[in-house]
Amino acid sequence: MTTWALIFDVDGVLADTEALNARASALMFAELYGVTVQPADFYPFIGTGDERYVEGVAEQYGVQIDTETAVNRRAENFFQLLRSEPLPAAPGVLELVAEARTSNRVRLAIATSGRREKQFPVIEGTGLKLEWFDVVITGDDVTRKKPDPQIYQLAGERLGLPPERCVVVEDAPVGVTAAKSAGMWCLAVTTSAPREALAAADLIVDSLAAASVGTLAKEFGL
């Protein structure tokens, strides 16, 4: 039987981290640069990687930042918030991963534009184990971030599967673009963006509780 893969983004997919990311970033701008920005300002940069996430808003406000310093402070703020507001796995995630792990047809991967030191604690905080995934790729492993398809192309290569046998699970428009540009199927979850912004995806759900290995295999002919 045909082997296929589920490739998960992290923020907004495995855990609903986007609100916490935005708050941590807004706090960083206030602390380092004395500038008040709004959490909604970060929306267009969801999924583009830690550097672009802060640079994009800095450009909007005309603020000159040191990207490395800004990203590090943002991460410190994020973990401080996370300690007081632990994030469970998004609905349906643990069940879908568990089902995939019992199938001899499905391989599992994580592909996130975020940095390893930030994303690994988020992943493990949900109750997921990194060793459950055949391939784990972070922003540290690529030179071009979403919407460029590089991260998903690399995931496919490491999985040893052609694009048409890979299903990417995304929550952001740039992630959907990256997945489709890589020639892969895309399942979008409306965690961080409305359905209309995710219209390029092949299938859109409000929660992964609505997805199963069987329904996805049928939907995408796998």
- Between β-strands 203-205 and 185-189, what pairing exists: parallel, antiparallel or unpaired? parallel
Number of H helices, E strands in the chain: 8, 6
**Mean pLDDT in runs of 10 for the chain (222 residues)?**
94 90 94 94 89 95 95 93 86 97 96 92 92 97 95 98 98 97 98 95 97 96 96
Q: Show Cβ contacts of residue 217 under 8 Å, excluding neighbours closer than 6 positions.
A: 4, 105
Q: Show Cβ contacts of residue 10 under 8 Å, excluding neighbours closer than 6 positions.
A: 17, 110, 112, 114, 119, 122, 123
Structure tokens at 36: 């008040």
- Report the predicted TM-score, pTM, of the whole model to 2 decimal places: 0.88
- The hierarchical CATH code for the domain 18-84 is 1.10.150
* CA–CA separation, 148 and 169 (whole Å): 16
151 membership: H or E segment, kind and range: helix 150-159
- Between β-strands 106-111 and 135-137, what pairing exists: parallel, antiparallel or unpaired? parallel
Structure tokens at 107: 């391989």
Structural fold of domain 4-16+87-220: Rossmann fold (3.40.50)
Sheet holding 166-170, edge to edge: 135-137, 106-111, 4-8, 166-170, 185-189, 203-205
**pLDDT for the residue 218:** 96
Residues assigned a catalytic role: 9, 11
* CA–CA separation, 110 and 168 (whole Å): 9
Domain coordinates in residue numbering, the chain: 4-16+87-220, 18-84
Say if CB 178 and CB 147 are below 8 A apart: yes
Smallest CA-to-CA distance from 51 within 69, 31, 78 is with: 69
